[in-house]
């Protein structure tokens, strides 16, 4: 147990101190500053360099499969290049597909419990994983959002493995590392953010979280894997479908996500993120119940998505709190 406590603390410190170093370094480089409309001054981006390195170091110590580390390095390198000079979208998608296939080549099948033929199982898994990688990037539009999602998903799997007596298994140890690294970055990314993840952070982290959801499904926690990311999945997917229906460009970060509606109505970034974190805590409980009461797992899944749809409606249609100062 002492080893896992030390490893978790190391992930937190590496993320916290590493991000501070990146802030100081990137402030001296105008090309690494990002001036978003919600912010009063340009802020360093690509802070994900420190978080991803913290994750890679600690996951290596935790003995994660080499294919995951190789894929994260590949994604981080191309994404950092994209942050600096830009990389065409088809090239980025091709690299993401390669990263996914590298890991799927060593992951046992069937992921979907034998519902699909082997080749179809791999193909559907790859497509879902690619979508999750990119939606995690799309949803990184306000201060504190992405590290909060890291913490929520990681907490969920930690709680589940502890309750069922599986700790310390790979899922729980990797989850602890993700939670710790997320807290380390959140210290600097909380509103008003001093740095952003950038593509170099969101893409590899989205990939890693997708791997965690895959690992959970293979461990028998399929419903939990569908519940924990429910907010991100719903906000991004519904928005994409809506924009496609309206004939708008839908790829990338844009102001139509539900959480962005709430910010545009005058709610502070940290207020919106607190709402999302509150929903994530409910999702953690429902995911845990789905494991403890498998006969009611579908009910817990339905409640989870109903709760998410309620918060999406709240963001889209309710007036802001007059005491909630904008931005």
Length of the chain equals 327
Determine the Cα–Cα distance for residues 60 and 69; give it in Å rounded to an integer: 8
Q: How high is the pLDDT of residue 74?
A: 96
Q: How high is the pLDDT of residue 40?
A: 45
Chunked mean pLDDT (size 10), the chain, 327 residues: 89 96 79 50 79 96 93 95 89 96 82 67 89 93 93 96 90 96 96 91 96 92 95 93 79 78 89 95 97 95 97 83 51
| 10 falls within a domain | yes
Task: Return the axis-axis angle of helices 48-61 and 199-218, rounded to nearest 10°.
Answer: 30
| 323 falls within a domain | no
| 324 falls within a domain | no
Q: How high is the pLDDT of residue 121?
A: 77
Distances (CA, A) of 17 to 46, 47, 137, 147, 177: 15, 11, 23, 16, 15
What pTM did the predictor assign? 0.91
DSSP letter at 220 equals T
Q: How high is the pLDDT of residue 36?
A: 46
| 293 falls within a domain | yes
Q: How is residue 32 written in tokens?
A: 């690494």
Closest CA to 186 of 194, 175, 177, 198: 194
* Total domains in the fold of the chain: 1
Q: 3-state SS of the chain: helix, strand, coil percent to 5? A: 70, 0, 25
Q: How high is the pLDDT of residue 2?
A: 83
Q: How is residue 76 written in tokens?
A: 């981080």
Q: How high is the pLDDT of residue 96?
A: 96
| 66 falls within a domain | yes
pLDDT tens per residue, range 289-298: 999 999 999 9
| 325 falls within a domain | no
| 255 falls within a domain | yes
Q: How far apart are the first and last CA of the chain?
A: 42
Q: Let me know: does 205 contact 150? Beta carbons within 8 Å.
A: yes
Q: Let me know: does 235 contact 257? Beta carbons within 8 Å.
A: yes
Q: How is residue 166 written in tokens?
A: 């599986």
Domain residues for the domain of 312 are 2-317
| 113 falls within a domain | yes
């Amino acid at each position: 147990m002492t080893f896992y406590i030390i490893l978790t603390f190391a992930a937190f410190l590496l993320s916290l101190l590493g991000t501070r170093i990146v802030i100081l370094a990137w402030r001296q480089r105008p090309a690494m500053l990002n001036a978003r409309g919600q912010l009063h001054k340009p802020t360093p981006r690509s802070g994900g360099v420190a978080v991803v390195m913290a994750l890679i170091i600690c996951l290596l110590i935790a003995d994660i499969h080499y294919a995951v580390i190789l894929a994260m390095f590949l994604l981080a390198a191309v994404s950092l290049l994209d942050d600096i000079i830009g990389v065409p979208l088809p090239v980025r998608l091709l690299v993401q597909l390669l990263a996914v296939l590298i890991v799927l080549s060593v992951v046992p099948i069937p992921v979907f419990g034998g519902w699909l033929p082997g080749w179809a199982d791999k193909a559907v898994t790859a497509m879902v994983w690619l979508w999750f990688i990119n939606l995690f990037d799309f949803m990184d539009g306000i201060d504190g959002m992405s590290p909060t999602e890291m913490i929520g998903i990681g907490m969920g799997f930690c709680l589940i493995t502890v309750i069922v007596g599986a700790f310390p298994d790979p899922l729980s140890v990797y989850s602890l590392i993700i939670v710790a690294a997320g807290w380390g970055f959140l210290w600097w990314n909380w509103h008003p953010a001093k740095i952003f993840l950038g593509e170099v952070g969101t893409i590899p982290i989205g990939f890693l979280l997708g791997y965690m959801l895959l690992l959970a499904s293979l461990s028998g926690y399929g419903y939990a894997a569908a519940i924990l990311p429910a907010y991100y999945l719903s906000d991004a997917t519904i928005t994409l479908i809506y924009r496609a229906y309206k004939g708008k460009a839908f790829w990338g970060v844009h102001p139509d996500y539900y959480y962005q509606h709430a910010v545009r109505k005058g709610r502070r970034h940290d207020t919106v993120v607190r709402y999302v974190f509150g929903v994530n805590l409910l999702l953690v409980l429902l995911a845990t119940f789905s494991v403890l009461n498998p006969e009611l797992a579908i009910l817990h899944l339905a409640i989870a998505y109903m709760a998410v749809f309620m918060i999406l409606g709240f963001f889209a249609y309710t007036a802001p709190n007059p005491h909630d100062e904008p931005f």
